[in-house]
Copies of this chain bind each other. A is one copy, B any other.
Amino acid sequence: MKAKVLVRLKSGVLDPQGKAVLHAAKSLGFSGIQDVRVGKIFEIEFESENSDAVQQTLKELSDKLLANTVIEDFTVEL
């Protein structure tokens, strides 16, 4: 089965990459944009079709490898 993990900076954490995109958008003439935040998406393919086991694995994997939980939050989508 396929699953997704979204990793985003926590809301209080500054996002210079998002700010750079915001400024680039403005300088290209796009108006009306208030804020941009950039995150990562991991699309992961598992051999198992057992969604409980996959969800558990994904939580551990995100905690240990995919996200830096000091500054990032993650959400798992099956």
Q: How far is the CA of A20 from the CA of B34 in the complex (A)?
A: 34
A18 to nearest B CB, angstroms?
A: 8
Contacts A28-B65, A60-B30 given; indicate if A38 touches B35 (C-beta within 8 A).
no
Partner of A38, one of B33, B36, B42, B61: B42
Q: How many copies of the shown chain assemble into the complex?
A: 2
Q: How far is the CA of A74 from the CA of B72 in the complex (A)?
A: 23
The count of chain A contact residues (Cβ–Cβ below 8 Å) is 31
A43 within 8 A of B: yes
Using a CB–CB distance below 8 Å, which chain A residues touch chain B?
6, 8, 18, 21, 24-25, 28, 30, 32-48, 57, 60-61, 64-66
